Amino acid sequence: MAPAVTARSWRSRVVGLLAEGEPATLARTAATTVLLLTIAAAVAVGMLDTLPGATPAIRRLIEALLAATLVVFTAEYALRLWIAPDSDPTAVGRPWAARAAYAVSFLGVIDFLAILPRLLHFVQPLGNAPENVIGLLVLLKLARYAPGLSLIATVIRNELRSLVAALVVMLVLLILASGIMYLLERTAQPQVFSSIPRALWWGIVTIATVGYGDMMPVTPLGRLFGGVVMLLGIAMFAVPAGILATGFAAEIRKRDFVVTWQAVTRVPLFAGLDASQVAEIARLLKPQWVPARYLVVRRGDAADAMYFILAGEVEVELPQPVRLRAGQYFGEIGLVKDITRTATVTAVTECQLLALDIGDFRRLMQQYPELDAKIRAVAESRLHPRAGGTP
């Protein structure tokens, strides 16, 4: 029993170092730093290895870095296979199924491909070019540490139908434009526009507005039509760009809403609300990050919002200063009493706040009388001379 307990203990430690979503610790930060530096070294080796006439010293450096990256990536892959059952909550009683799922996952395949060319280099070399190109796939390992990469994949998956439709329209335009240009130029330039397949190259560089100049129309009609195709090309490339921009904005709003939802559920004032009520409130609240010593509200200013503290600490400047922490709120007195700010509030530490604008505040209080009663009671207690007040 003791060896099993020891193995689980060690595995839980490795989970804390490598698994996604674990809290940040000094050891985890160190492990992440080592892996990121190894990725950078692997990419550098892949590029340096293509330099012609490398000196013996550079060759020795490349061989040493190849060996070091192979050791690190192999150890990482083996450890991730080992901890896969603990990283998958559905893998209870099926450890090898969890390991197989990791091995065939996108990141699992990338982890394996990070090892393969380096291993082949020492066992059965494929040649510098194939090894270096495959080795550059190690850059995809950054998807674990750069959320933006996963965001790109999500947006493309969500907008795939629209992107395919835009691509089909672009393909139709390319073929038709190339065919028409072939008809217009085949007599004047029989060697250049000898066939529609050859004219496709002209269509590609023209629609892409690159214009290499190796194929260009010389007849008046050909040049006129070529100008029209250039303008259409600009418009056609704007379509997928707009689709992706809209998809990015929608996905970011969705993720921000999820974060705000989770934040709202941690505020004691909203405890007991059902899912629909939390969703309604989450849509109204605007997250803000403020640095330490930041002046959030100033005494005498117009009251335009109240604030909920999710993280950090603020100080209310009163005859006897009051400090408010996560889960508390301030700024409600000016909204409830319809007066200016009664005190200045400054961030003591970096704070994460949720702001509720005055218009949304009034609508929310009308919709949820129980919240209105709670906030008014706190506002009255803060206005009491012995309790002091918040702005």
pLDDT digits (tens, 9 = 90+) for 319-375: 888 899 888 888 888 888 888 888 899 999 988 888 889 888 888 888 888 888 888
3-state secondary structure the chain: CHHHHHHHHHHHHHHHHHCCCCCCCHHHHHHHHHHHHHHHHHHHHHHHCCCCCCCHHHHHHHHHHHHHHHHHHHHHHHHHHHHHHHHCCCCCCCHHHHHHHHHHCHHHHHHHHHHHHHHHHHHCCCCHHHHHHHHHHHHHHHHHCCHHHHHHHHHHHHCHHHHHHHHHHHHHHHHHHHHHHHHHHCCCCCCCCCCHHHHHHHHHHHHCCCCCCCCCCCCHHHHHHHHHHHHHHHHHHHHHHHHHHHHHHHHHHHHHHHHHHHHHHCCHHHCCCCHHHHHHHHHHCEEEEECCCCEEECCCCCCCEEEEEEECEEEEECCCCEEEECCCEECHHHHHHCCCCCCEEEECCCEEEEEEEHHHHHHHHHHCHHHHHHHHHHHHHHHCCCCCCCC
The 10s digit of each residue's pLDDT in 118-164 is 777 777 665 566 666 777 788 888 878 876 677 787 888 888 899 99
Q: Give the rounded percent of residues in the chain with a pLDDT score beyond 70.
A: 87
Q: For position 241, what pLDDT does the model report?
A: 86
Q: What is the pLDDT of residue 93?
A: 65
Q: According to the model, what pLDDT value does residue 1 have? A: 43
